[in-house]
């Protein structure tokens, strides 16, 4: 009998461990001046250093150190007063020197934590994920496999190597094992990676695009019978390319391991690969014996000893934690959960906050950005923030609130700004889009409407107030929407002796 | 008249007075190489075309009245371990057969900028691993003093080229004595600068924490001029010292040791040293005393462990540095018949491309770094390094420079030690401590051993970045020796025929 | 210290990616043992209280600014390649890939 997920977690206690690799968004590589742009022509962003040519030597990118320290500080780590690079020796064709310049026993940041909140059966609950270390290393090149029936590597006739990615700075963030998550292990894993991604984005140190590989997650999972107090043998699942996959990979692995244990089989310590389609994992490269990486201090580089003043200065640049900020803004704006989620997903939090800071009323600011502006952005397949500034939006909202623009006119202003006619105020001026609030101008239009529909006017005079709609509509049409409908109604009814 | 027997200084003067052109001077040397290199085999590649082109360019600049560097137009022989753009660079190994670097090492760039004419690339022990050039994949270099003997190594080709008047200047590298030992065995001057004094960028790495580039010449002043031309901070080498280059040319011209304290290292002499070596060494000390220097005996008790530590540290670093030679990106590829995977082709290529000594050191280094043995071997060796450094610090607290014979014996016969690695390693016993501590040292010819008529070298050592001190002592002693002999030591070298 | 066996050398040769015949392994085992016999002297003085020196210079914090410098051209990058195709290094099939 096979166990389903619920069955698996009723019998077994999962233990989680997560390793996240982050590609930093420095302009140049970790140890040389080659550009780091994604998608360049093959082998056009390489040099003697990142190709591992004989004689080439590395020099550390200062920005990468700075970004690593920022990450450490944001994750509540201690910044090591002395840290070093080491060589991790193993042969692989995508690694030009056949050693990876990494950090071993002297990483730049240690002992941090990240609290994540998830929804449980008992309500919102916070799990603390402890960070063991944050260390710096370099990325490898990319291989392409040619020939063979399936295109899979085992059928490949040869491989092609592109080293553009080789030497791009990577930061690896390693958690301690996370015990006690029980059946929530998959959600905790996802919440951790999500929160981490948001923090990295708020720090501005990485593009954090999982689909492009600038954020990669390896999930370690082990199981032990509940109450045994033991730790089981773990597997390490790689190739987890989205937040949803993180959750699926962990739950899939829990199910797989539970069923093996149920069948009396052993869990093998191995690397596994997540399969996006099935949500299952498959075994990866089997190692005949444990690799011996023969780490030793990198003799071509000198130690990193950041002084306290620098660390302190970097500390002042750590922004508010994204989850804390979200909560604060939600309360301030009195924003429903669903809408908040939409703002976060659409990456509109910053711009809405700016718009509100410029004096816009919170509800209107959210509605405009999520509604009309997002709709237009969708049509054009661009980011909403690339269409219009928070200043223009704030100005438009202020005019709406002040009665100078109707919603309809405002949409025209937005459209004008987007089509490049200038700022909100200049569009209003050029197109003459102000609400007509001059009573005599409105009266002329009202009289014209009455003259055109005498029967309707007569009915209103007779007490049929709802009939006013038709005349108000005619006035609005005549003024091109540039009238305040409430004002028109007031003047019309008064004029017909019903005011 | 300027001939190949002139010093570099004399050649430079003749060039600046336009008594001779650089093209003429270069041709003289190319002719000499043509005439005698069949016997000496100092060169692996003679770049006649490139040399003439460089000489032509210098002559044109001189004709145009441009300000030129002191050594502009003077020819030089380059150890085949330094990358020179477009010119074969093999490091004496079959695995780099036909490799032409797409870039210049910093030293080559500096030489080119100084207008120094590079005649070609000189023979060496494969990857600088050896003390005789017998480990070259391209044949052994013969000592111009006695063609049945080795010129020492690993920079044996550079030393032999200078001794055989094929070039007035040469560049070598010194990891455990690879400049000083061949200089001693061929009767010329060789300097291993302070570690970090000359850029290692573009120098095929053997042992990164020990390797250093340095000059060879027939006089102390010539050596100093070349030293100044190649030294200085390089932002491409993280271990390059960012400080002014010691005033070595001025020091070489001082010709005065009055009041200097000179320490004789008790442990580097006596038992195990050839009688004629000790005799000439002691006579040189007497000349220094006559010049007003004070001789003090000092003890460096930990030097006896330096050799053992060196043969752990250097192979360990080498095992990692040489991992990049895997046939994927450059160099030799063997066994790629379409049926084998990359990993297998790597192993077959490395077996075919590396010589015996290189494999021996790779295996030794792999062992010393592997888990379970690291602390006992690599770790212990690093502690010995600390002790050696401390011995030097204590000694330099008492004296200005330290001296010893460079080698225990004069040049040995080709084949004499090639089957006994441990005996071969012993020839570096006096030079290795300098590399371990990162200080600088000079090898100065002080006579011919009476028993075999072969050159003897004195090693003069100074603290970190005090290289000017050994130039001062070397210059003064050279002058004293010259007035004692009445003619330069090299005038005793047998005629090789040809000119 | 235990003797170095042929299997030990075979393991090291595998880690170092150097193909070796059984004869070579035997020979290397003997040589390695001789050399290790000589170099293990370091253990005589390497006591616990001595700090290791991994580098002759006591420098720290050598960094470069995050500035892009020109790369090699594709042609230069591939100039030494034993084989190339599609602007990439062409190598024998990489087995056991993930």
Average pLDDT over residues B159-176: 98
Find the Cα–Cα–Cα–Cα dihedral B154, B155, B156, B159, rounded to 10°.
-150
Euclidean distance between CA atoms A353 and A355, whole angstroms: 5
Please indicate, yes or no, if residue A434 is contained in any of the structural domains. no
Distance in angstroms (rounded) separating the CA atoms of residues A487 and A481: 13
Distance CA B471, CA B459 (A): 11
Give the Å distances, CA to CA, from C55 to A211, B381, C20, C51, C96. Answer: 41, 12, 33, 12, 37
* pLDDT confidence of residue A437: 65
Q: In what order do the strands lie in the sheet with A296-297?
A: A99-102, A86-89, A296-297
- Asked whether the predicted pLDDT for residue B94 surpasses 80, the reply is yes
Interchain CB distance below 8 Å, A27 and C97 = no
Task: List CB contacts (< 8 A) between B421 and chain C.
Answer: 31, 34-35
| CA B184 to centroid of chain Cα atoms | 10
The structure tokens 């010259």 sit at: B482
Question: Could you tell me if A242 and A345 lie in one domain?
Answer: no
Give the gap in angstroms from C-alpha C13 to the nearest C-alpha of chain A: 12
Q: Are residues A348 and A393 in the same domain?
A: yes
Supply the CATH classification number for the domain C1-42: 1.10.20.60
- Nearest residue on chain A to C93, judged by CA atoms? A158
CB contact under 8 A, A297 and C57: no
Across the interface, do B324 and A93 touch by the CB < 8 Å criterion? Answer: no
Query: Domain limits of chain B?
Result: 8-303+385-492
Q: Which residues of A touch B (CB under 8 A)?
A: 47-48, 51-60, 87, 89, 91, 93, 96-99, 157, 159, 161, 292, 294-296, 299-302
- pLDDT score, position A155: 53
From chain C, the residues in CB contact with A34 under 8 A are: 68-69, 71
The per-residue pLDDT for range C43-90, each reduced to its tens digit, is 999 999 999 998 888 899 999 999 999 999 999 999 999 999 999 999
Residue B24 CB coordination number (10 Å)? 15
Question: Which chain B positions have a beta carbon within 8 Å of A46's beta carbon?
Answer: none
**Cβ atoms within 10 Å of A78's Cβ, excluding its own:** 12
Residue length of chain A: 499
Report H helices in B192-297: 220-230, 248-254, 275-290
Q: How far is CA A73 from CA A110, A112, A320, in A?
A: 10, 8, 12
* Burial class for B56, CB neighbours closer than 10 Å (0-12, 13-18, 19+): middle
Spatial distance between the Cα atoms of A169 and A63, rounded to a whole number of angstroms: 10
- pLDDT score at C96: 60
Average pLDDT, chain B: 97
| Superfamily of B8-303+385-492 according to CATH | Amidase signature (AS) domain (3.90.1300.10)
pLDDT of residue C98: 44
Say what the pLDDT of residue A285 is: 63
Closest partner CB to B204 (pick from A55, A58, A161) = A55
Q: Are residues A72 and A213 in the same domain?
A: yes
Whether A333 and A478 map to the same domain: the answer is no
Half-sphere exposure of A226 (CA within 13 A, CB side): 11
Q: Which residue of B has its CA nearest to C73?
A: B102
What residues of B act catalytically? 79, 154, 178
> Measuring CA to CA, which residue among B191, B209, B229 is closest to residue B467?
B191
User: How far is CA B372 from each of CA A269, B375, C33, rounded to the nearest angstrom?
Assistant: 21, 7, 17
Alpha carbon separation from A178 to A9, A231, A251, A271 (Å, rounded): 16, 11, 15, 19
Choose among A153, A158, A238: nearest Cβ to C97.
Answer: A153
CB contact under 8 A, B239 and A296: no
The count of C-alpha atoms lying within 13 angstroms of the C-alpha of A306, restricted to the half-sphere facing its C-beta, is: 25
Q: Do A55 and B83 touch (CB under 8 A)?
A: yes
* pLDDT range class, residue B499, cuts 50, 70, 90: very low
Q: B160-192 in b/e burial notation, b at 16+ Cβ within 10 A?
A: bbbbbbbbbbbbbbbbbbbbbbbbbbbbbbbbb
Residue B443 phi, psi (nearest 5): -110, 120
Cβ pair B422:C64 closer than 8 A:
no
Alpha-carbon distance B20 to nearest alpha carbon in chain C (angstroms):
38
Which candidate from C13, C39, C43 shows the least CB-CB separation from B311? C39
Q: Is the dihedral of CA A383, A388, A389, A395 positive or negative?
A: negative
**A421: in domain:** no
What's the rounded Cα separation, in Å, for the pair B57 and B60?
Answer: 5
Are residues A121 and A270 located together in one domain of the fold? yes
Give the residue numbers spanning the domain of A478: 439-495
- For residue C2, pLDDT over 70 is answered with no
How many C-beta atoms lie closer than 10 Å to residue B206's C-beta? 27
Which residues of chain C neighbour A93 with C-beta distances below 8 Å?
91, 94
Judged by CB atoms closer than 8 Å, whether chains meet at B383 and C47 is answered as: yes
- pLDDT of B262-318, one tens digit each? 999 999 998 889 999 999 999 999 999 999 999 999 999 999 999 999 999 999 999
Query: B112-143, pLDDT tens digit by residue?
Result: 999 999 999 999 999 999 999 999 999 999 99
The pLDDT of residue A288 is 47
Mean pLDDT in consecutive groups of 10 residues from the start of chain A, 499 residues = 91 96 98 96 98 98 98 98 97 96 97 95 94 98 79 68 98 95 96 96 94 93 92 90 93 95 92 88 67 95 96 95 91 91 87 92 92 90 89 90 83 88 84 73 84 88 86 83 80 82
Q: What is the largest CA-CA distance in chain B?
A: 73
Contact call for A28 and C98, based on CB within 8 A: no
Contact C53, B385 (CB under 8 A): yes
Provide the number of structural domains found in chain A.
3
CB contact under 8 A, C52 and B382: yes
Considering only CB atoms, C50 lies closest to which of B238, B360, B387, namely B387
Residues B75, B168: Cα–Cα separation, whole Å = 7
Q: A117 and A236, same structural domain?
A: yes
- Record: contact C98-A157, CB cut-off 8 A: no
User: Is-contact A417 A423, C-beta < 8 A?
Assistant: yes
Chain B positions in Cβ-Cβ contact with residue A59 (cut-off 8 Å): 235-238
Q: Which of B319, B328, B338 sits opposite A93 (nearest CB)?
A: B328
Q: From chain B, pick out residues whose CB is under 8 angstroms from the CB of C51.
A: 383, 386
Q: Locate all alpha helices (DSSP H) within B231-274, ordered by sequence.
A: 248-254
* pLDDT tens-place string over residues B41-83: 999 999 999 999 999 999 999 999 999 999 999 999 999 999 9
**Residue A96 belongs to some domain of the structure:** yes
User: Has residue B100 got a pLDDT over 90?
Assistant: yes
Residues in contact with A43: Cβ distance below 8 Å, sequence separation at least 6, in sequence order: A162, A163, A164, C74, C77, C78, C87, C88, C89
Q: How far is C57 from chain B (nearest CA, A)?
A: 7
* pLDDT per position as a tens digit, B204-251: 999 999 999 999 999 999 999 999 999 999 999 999 999 999 999 999
Would A188 be classed as within a structural domain?
A: yes
Closest-CA distance, A302 to chain B, in angstroms, reads 7
The residues, ordered by sequence, that sit 6+ positions from A146 with a Cβ below 8 Å of its Cβ are A156, A157, A158, A159, A160, C85
**Cα atoms in the 13 Å half-sphere on the side-chain side of C16:** 33
* One domain for residues A24 and A127: yes
Strand bridging mode B261-265 / B401-405: parallel
CATH of the domain at A474: 1.10.10
Complex ipTM tops 0.90: yes
For residue B323, give the DSSP letter. Answer: G
CA distance B444 to B448: 12
- Chain A residues near residue B242 by CB distance under 8 angstroms: none
């Amino acid at each position: 009998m096979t166990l389903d997920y619920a069955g698996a977690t009723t019998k077994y206690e999962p233990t989680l461990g997560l390793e996240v690799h982050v590609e930093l968004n420095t302009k140049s590589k970790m140890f040389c001046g080659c550009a780091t742009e994604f998608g360049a022509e093959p082998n056009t962003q390489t040099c003697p250093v990142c190709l591992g040519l004989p004689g080439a030597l590395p020099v550390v990118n200062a920005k990468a150190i700075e970004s690593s320290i920022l990450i450490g500080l944001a994750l509540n780590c201690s910044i090591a007063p002395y840290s070093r690079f080491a060589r991790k020796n193993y042969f692989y064709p995508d690694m030009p020197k056949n050693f990876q310049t990494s950090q071993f026993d002297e990483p730049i940041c240690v002992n941090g934590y990240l609290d994540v909140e998830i929804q449980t059966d008992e309500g919102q609950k916070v799990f603390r994920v402890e960070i063991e270390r944050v260390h710096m290393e370099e990325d490898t090149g990319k291989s392409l496999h040619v020939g063979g029936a399936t295109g899979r590597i085992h059928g490949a006739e040869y491989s092609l190597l592109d080293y553009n990615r080789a030497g791009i700075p990577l930061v690896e963030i390693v958690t301690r094992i996370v015990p006690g998550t029980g059946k929530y292990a998959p959600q905790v894993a996802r919440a951790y990676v999500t929160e981490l991604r948001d923090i990295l984005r708020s720090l501005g140190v990485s593009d954090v695009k999982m689909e492009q590989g600038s954020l990669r997650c390896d999930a370690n999972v082990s199981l032990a019978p509940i109450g045994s107090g033991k730790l089981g043998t773990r597997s390490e699942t790689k190739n987890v390319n989205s937040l949803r996959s993180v959750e699926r990979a962990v739950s899939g692995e829990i199910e797989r391991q539970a069923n093996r244990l149920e069948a009396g089989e052993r869990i093998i310590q191995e690397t596994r690969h997540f399969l996006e389609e099935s949500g299952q994992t498959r075994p990866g490269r089997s190692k005949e014996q444990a690799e011996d990486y023969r780490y030793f201090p990198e003799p071509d580089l000198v130690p990193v000893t950041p002084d306290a003043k620098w660390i302190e200065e970097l500390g002042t640049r750590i922004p508010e934690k994204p989850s804390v900020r979200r909560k604060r803004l939600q309360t301030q704006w009195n924003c429903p959960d669903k809408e908040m989620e939409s703002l976060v997903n659409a990456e509109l939090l910053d711009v809405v906050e700016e718009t509100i800071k410029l004096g816009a009323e919170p509800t209107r600011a959210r509605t405009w950005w999520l509604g009309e502006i997002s709709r237009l952005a969708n049509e054009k397949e661009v980011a909403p923030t690339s269409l219009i500034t928070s200043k223009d939006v704030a100005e438009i909202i202020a005019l709406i609130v002040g009665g100078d623009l109707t919603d309809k006119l405002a949409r025209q202003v937005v459209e004008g700004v987007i089509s490049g006619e200038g700022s909100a105020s200049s569009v209003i001026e050029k197109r003459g889009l102000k609400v007509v609030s001059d009573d005599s101008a409105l009266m002329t239009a009202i009289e014209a409407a009455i003259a055109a529909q005498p029967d309707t006017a007569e009915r209103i005079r007779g007490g049929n107030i709802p009939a006013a709609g038709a005349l108000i509509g005619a006035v609005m049409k005549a003024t091109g929407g540039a009238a305040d409908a409430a004002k028109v109604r007031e003047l019309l009814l008064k004029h017909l002796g019903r005011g | 008249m300027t001939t190949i027997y002139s010093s570099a200084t004399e050649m430079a003067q003749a060039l600046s007075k336009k008594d001779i052109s650089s093209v003429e001077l270069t041709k003289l040397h190319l002719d000499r190489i043509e005439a005698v290199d069949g016997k000496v085999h100092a060169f692996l590649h003679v770049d006649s075309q490139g040399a003439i082109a460089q000489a032509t360019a210098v002559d044109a600049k001189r004709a145009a009245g441009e300000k030129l560097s002191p050594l502009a137009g003077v020819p030089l022989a380059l150890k085949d371990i330094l990358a020179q753009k477009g010119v074969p660079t093999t490091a004496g190994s079959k695995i780099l057969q036909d490799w032409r670097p797409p870039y210049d090492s910093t030293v080559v760039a500096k030489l080119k900028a100084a207008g120094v004419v590079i005649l070609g690339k000189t023979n060496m022990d494969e990857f600088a691993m050896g003390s005789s050039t017998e480990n070259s994949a391209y044949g052994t270099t013969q000592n111009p003093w006695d063609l049945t003997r080795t010129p020492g190594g690993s920079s044996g080709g550079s030393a032999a080229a200078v001794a055989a008047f094929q070039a007035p200047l040469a560049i070598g590298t010194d990891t455990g004595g690879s400049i000083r030992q061949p200089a001693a065995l061929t009767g010329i001057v060789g300097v291993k600068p302070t570690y970090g004094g000359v850029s290692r960028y573009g120098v095929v790495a053997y042992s990164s924490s020990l390797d250093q580039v340095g000059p060879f010449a027939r006089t102390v002043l010539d050596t100093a001029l070349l030293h100044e031309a190649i030294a200085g901070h390089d932002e491409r080498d993280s271990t390059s010292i960012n400080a002014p280059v010691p005033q070595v040319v001025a020091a070489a011209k001082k010709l005065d040791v009055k009041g200097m304290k000179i320490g004789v290292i008790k442990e580097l002499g006596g038992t195990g040293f050839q009688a004629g070596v000790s005799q000439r060494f002691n006579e040189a000390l007497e000349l220094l005393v006559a010049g007003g220097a004070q001789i003090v005996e000092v003890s460096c008790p930990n030097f006896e462990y330096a050799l053992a530590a060196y043969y752990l540290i250097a192979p360990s670093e080498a095992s990692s540095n040489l991992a990049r030679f895997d046939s994927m990106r450059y160099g030799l590829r063997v066994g790629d018949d379409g049926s084998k995977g990359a990993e297998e082709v790597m192993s077959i290529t490395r077996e075919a491309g590396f010589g015996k000594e290189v494999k021996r050191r790779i295996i030794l280094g792999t062992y010393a770094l592997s888990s379970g043995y690291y602390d006992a071997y690599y770790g212990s060796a690093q502690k010995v390094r600390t002790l050696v450094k401390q011995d030097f610090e204590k000694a330099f607290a008492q004296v200005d420079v330290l001296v010893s014979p460079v080698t225990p014996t004069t040049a040995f016969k080709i084949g004499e030690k090639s089957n006994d690695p441990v005996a071969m390693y012993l020839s570096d016993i006096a030079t290795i401590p300098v590399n371990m501590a990162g200080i600088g040292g000079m090898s100065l010819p002080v006579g011919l051993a009476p028993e075999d008529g072969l050159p003897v070298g004195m090693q003069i050592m100074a603290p970190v970045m005090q290289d000017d001190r050994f130039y001062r002592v070397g210059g003064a002693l050279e002058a004293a020796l010259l007035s004692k002999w009445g003619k330069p030591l090299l005038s005793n070298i047998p005629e090789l025929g040809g000119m | 210290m235990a003797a170095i066996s042929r299997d030990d050398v075979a393991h090291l040769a595998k880690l170092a990616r150097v193909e070796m015949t059984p004869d070579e392994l035997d020979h290397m085992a003997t040589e390695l043992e001789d050399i290790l016999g000589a170099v293990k002297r370091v253990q005589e003085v390497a006591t616990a209280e001595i700090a290791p020196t991994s580098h002759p210079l006591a420098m720290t914090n050598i960094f470069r600014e995050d500035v892009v410098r020109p790369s090699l051209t594709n042609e230069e990058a591939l100039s030494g390649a034993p084989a190339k195709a599609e602007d990439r290094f062409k190598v024998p099939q990489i087995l056991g890939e993930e």
